[in-house]
Amino acid sequence: MQNAIVVFTKVPRAGDIKTRLTTERGGILTPEEAKQFYEACLLDVIDCCIASNSGDLYICYNLNGDRDYLEKMLASVSDRRAIKGVYADRGGTFDRCMQYAADYILKGENGGRLADSVIIVGGDLPTLQPATLREAVSRMERLAASDSGKKAAKNAQGSGAAIGAAIVEGACQEGGFSLVGYTCNTPFEFEGVFYNKDGVTALDMLVYKATEQGIPFGMVEMIPDVDIPLDLASMLSSLNALQLAARFDGGVFIPKRTIQMIREMGLEASAAPSLMEGSRER
């Protein structure tokens, strides 16, 4: 089964990216710093995807994004030749943009699919690891080849399918997910996942859709994104842990650009001291 990885992103622009990290929205970064931080994260995520060697790599960016600026950024990744395609979404809601990102791969604008399965990841996942991407692909292949996967695909298409149905996800904070993948014969659409009138979380909606269609569902480890100052603070400690782990495990991917940007900004994680000595619950 041929897989594709799509990095789903906005082209970094000051004042238009990671605004909840900025002082204007109660954060600690200037708009330019937020843009620089996201740019570092995005390039690290792309290099992680390249290192995973888990399928053809594509970049899907926002409709109004600066394509020329994006291309200048991509010139600095570890292997620009590893990026098979760069394409803009069609705008609209987040659901529709995500749907187009997947359909571009699984259906193709000219009626021919570019891969049998797709995994979509965000650009704000600095702790993403190649091993996680490889596990996502492996799990999706196993689920698609299962009797349940073949049955779900047959029920959706009305006939047998060479590739079964399967969904795989990696959760993030607040009921969301930062990685999602599915096969070309999976009866799934993003409509209502991120925007629905009932207040259902994105992850719960993903689970609901999979359950309703009998689609085999798999999980990989949680991959936190960075949207708000609390996420940023948590990430700082995770980066410290990754750097130590890499000393003992050559398979650990270090997001060097993000770490360098954090150092340049002088950011450090801290915890409030206990108000009373010995106040820990027993």
Percentage of the residues of the chain whose pLDDT score is greater than 70 = 96
Which domains occur in the chain, in start order?
3-264 (3.90.550.10)
Confidence of residue 110 (pLDDT cuts 50, 70, 90): low
Q: Is 102's pLDDT higher than 70?
A: yes
Q: Token pair of 7, please?
A: 């990095």
Based on the number of CB atoms within 10 Å of its own CB, is 186 exposed (0-12), middle (13-18) or buried (19 or more)? buried
Q: Which long-range contacts (CB under 8 A, 24 or more apart) does 261-264 make?
A: 261/36, 261/37, 261/40, 262/37, 262/236
Q: What is the pLDDT of residues 40-94, one digit of tens each?
A: 999 999 999 999 999 999 999 999 999 999 999 999 999 999 999 999 999 999 9
- CA-CA distance, 119 to 179, in Å (whole number)? 7
Q: Is 282's pLDDT higher than 50?
A: no
* Residues 195/95, Cβ–Cβ less than 8 Å: yes
Confidence of residue 133 (pLDDT cuts 50, 70, 90): very high
Q: Token pair of 20, please?
A: 């909840």
**Could you tell me the CA-to-CA distances from 49 to 6, 22, 46, 140, 236 in Å, in that order?**
9, 28, 5, 17, 21
The pTM for the full model equals 0.94
Q: What is the pLDDT of residues 165-204, one digit of tens each?
A: 999 999 999 899 999 999 999 999 999 999 888 899 999 9
- Spacing of C-alpha 111 from chain mean position: 26
Q: Is 7's pLDDT higher than 60?
A: yes
Q: Is 277's pLDDT higher than 80?
A: no
Residue 24 neighbours by CB distance under 10 Å = 13
The arithmetic mean of pLDDT across residues 213-237, rounded, is 95
Longest dimension (CA), the chain: 68
